[in-house]
Amino acid sequence: MTSQKNEFFIDSDKLGEEAIERKHRIEQDPSSRTDHMAYMEGMDRIETDVCDKVISQMEAYDYSKYTAEDVLRALRQETCSIEDFKALLSPAAEPFLERMAARAKAETSRHFGNTVYIFTPLYIANYCENYCVYCGFNCYNDINRKKLSFDEIEHEMKVIADSGIEEILILTGESRSKSDVNYIGQACKMARKYFRNVGLEIYPVNVDEYRYLHECGADYVTVFQETYDSDLYETLHLLGHKRIYPYRFEAQERALMGGMRGVAFSALLGLGDFRKEALATALHAYYLQRKYPHAEFSLSCPRLRPIVNNDKINPLDVHERQLCQVLCAYRIFLPFAGITVSSRESKAFRDGIVKIAATKVSAGVSTGIGDHESKYTGEENDEAGDEQFEIADSRSFSQMYDDISEEGLQPVLNDYVYV
């Protein structure tokens, strides 16, 4: 595995005058920041044209030019082209949301039947070396930091597994010094004892590191690009390895090159123009699917949520009706792709969207570090690390399972058999 020198880790609990001065400097002086398009030492560079294709399509996308007739034409097509997808994301499609939902529901049923998959995330550390102004884990945010020991990880996993969940998503803050690849790999090995399906949402790593994590038991990798607008990306990611736009963009392809079974994509809706972000997210999956047809692809659709000490960004409003439009357009354009709707969204929205376009939901969620047991006992864990963001749907696994069943859908915990 490739190791990388840690240049950026800042212990936010011990911010001194020098660190505070540095923070102010990088906020006020763009010239003091690392070039966000230049790879850092130790970062894999792969031969790929996917980024250029996605960005050129996004930059050329003028959604104001689409008409009602363009939308109706798109809905009449048996196969949705890129141009049809652009029409379905446009404002002209808003009056046709019910027709889009009906088409999306038919595509979901055709490709996924009546099923909804359930998983839960497990945050094992919240240390971070990046300064992303919108994120609760960012290195300058004064929060309670924690990294779980292996005993604590196993305890959390046992609590989750005992609830009945069979799929877990392991998450860390983006800190190699506190959560190195070996630490994450050991967590994957442990997870394989308790769960049938193991996902990762960690900092991007190199191909050989993804291969190692896959060998440790990881099945798929989720990476949020946050925003596909490279200029906006530069203004939001001021420090750390995450600042390097192309390295983050290429993470899913490196994961597939490292043997991962599946990859997931997302922009964080509310940072930029959500229609262009949705276009880029889907095209990222679309072009990679053509290069790696054997792999599984899925999309997420998170909207910005409140975080601790957040006074750095005002979210651009993306309302539930607009979010529904995006999800229906995703389903029509990429009928084979999984779509995950997280606990960032309300119970009412999630209960509705799983009947139309979404195929996967989280349950029993905690975005804090080491407090899954408190979810079941009701007793607060004073030693837990602070959460990344506030959730909107706090249903337990059993509640979620029952609610899905009552809607006439089939909850699925796992559909993989390892031989």
List C-alpha distances in Å: 94 to 64, 98, 99, 347.
Answer: 12, 9, 10, 23
Whose structure tokens read 């011990």?
14
Confidence band, pLDDT 50/70/90 cuts, at residue 25: confident
pLDDT reading at 81 higher than 50? yes
Answer whether 246's CB lies under 8 Å from 34's CB: no
Q: Per-residue pLDDT tens for 334-359?
A: 999 999 999 989 999 999 999 999 99
pLDDT at 167: 97
Residue-range definition of the domain harbouring residue 326: 113-412
The mean pLDDT value of the chain amounts to 90
Q: Which amino acid is at 24?
A: H
List C-alpha distances in Å: 235 to 31, 41, 167, 345, 389.
Answer: 12, 22, 35, 27, 21
pLDDT at 305: 67
pLDDT at 5: 41
Confidence band, pLDDT 50/70/90 cuts, at residue 12: very low
Confidence band, pLDDT 50/70/90 cuts, at residue 316: confident
pLDDT reading at 251 higher than 50? yes
Q: Which residues contact 20 (CB under 8 A, 6 or more apart)?
A: none
Query: Does 313 or 103 have the greater pLDDT score?
Result: 103
Q: How many domains does the chain have?
A: 1
Per-residue pLDDT averaged across 127-145, rounded?
Answer: 87
pLDDT reading at 377 higher than 90? no
- The answer to the question of residue 224 being in a domain is yes
CATH number of domain containing 333: 3.20.20.70
**Beta pairing class for 220-226 and 262-267:** parallel
Per-residue pLDDT averaged across 127-131, rounded?
Answer: 93
DSSP secondary structure letter of residue 384: P
- The answer to the question of residue 77 being in a domain is no
Confidence band, pLDDT 50/70/90 cuts, at residue 317: confident
Per-residue pLDDT averaged across 10-25, rounded?
Answer: 62
Confidence band, pLDDT 50/70/90 cuts, at residue 391: confident
Confidence band, pLDDT 50/70/90 cuts, at residue 138: confident
Among 224-238, 282-296, 377-391, the minimum mean pLDDT is found in 377-391
Query: Does 366 or 340 have the greater pLDDT score?
Result: 340
Query: Does 316 or 298 have the greater pLDDT score?
Result: 298
pLDDT at 388: 53
pLDDT at 29: 80
Angle at 341 between CA 210 and CA 408, to 5 degrees: 125
pLDDT at 35: 94
pLDDT at 405: 97
Per-residue pLDDT averaged across 166-192, rounded?
Answer: 97
Q: Which amino acid is at 396?
A: S
Q: Which residues contact 294 (CB under 8 A, 6 or more apart)?
A: none
- The answer to the question of residue 218 being in a domain is yes
List C-alpha distances in Å: 206 to 1, 122, 256.
Answer: 8, 23, 11
Give the span between the Cα atoms of 174 and 196, in whole angstroms: 25
Confidence band, pLDDT 50/70/90 cuts, at residue 408: very high
pLDDT reading at 2 higher than 50? no
Among 23-37, 53-67, 384-398, the minimum mean pLDDT is found in 384-398
- The answer to the question of residue 143 being in a domain is yes
Give the span between the Cα atoms of 331 and 324, in whole angstroms: 11
Per-residue pLDDT averaged across 408-416, rounded?
Answer: 92
Whose structure tokens read 């899913």?
252
pLDDT reading at 26 higher than 90? no
Q: What are the structure tokens assigned to 320, written together? A: 């539930």
Q: What are phi and psi of 195, to 5 degrees?
A: -130, 150
pLDDT reading at 4 higher than 60? no
Work out the widest C-alpha separation in the chain, in whole angstroms. 62
pLDDT reading at 8 higher than 50? no
- The answer to the question of residue 95 being in a domain is no
Q: Per-residue pLDDT tens for 293-315?
A: 999 999 999 988 655 555 556 67
Percent of the chain with pLDDT over 90: 75
- The answer to the question of residue 215 being in a domain is yes
- The answer to the question of residue 3 being in a domain is no
pLDDT at 137: 83
